Amino acid sequence: PLQGIVINSTELRAGAGKRFAKVSADALVSGEKIEIIGIDPDRPWLQVIGPNQEVGYLPATDVRLINPL
């Protein structure tokens, strides 16, 4: 699986967009590692597993890939 690092503090969302509810009360902060499990084909959002094993979406612009293909 692809690994990434959060580069801009961001909220993990239940869907690919800011209109979706937050998955967690705590934002992901710069430097936290995430696992990328999906890419939304219509929007620049990634489906990820956060550091506390929560699954959600965040903007692709807020992530730097650790092991790009």
- Which of 11, 48, 14, 13 is CA-nearest to residue 33? 48
Q: What is the pLDDT of residue 69?
A: 58
Average pLDDT score over residue span 17-46: 92
Distance CA 62, CA 32 (A): 11
Nearest-angstrom CA–CA distance, 6 and 56: 14
Per-residue pLDDT at 68 exceeds 80: no
pLDDT above 90 for 9: yes
Tokens 């499990």 correspond to 37
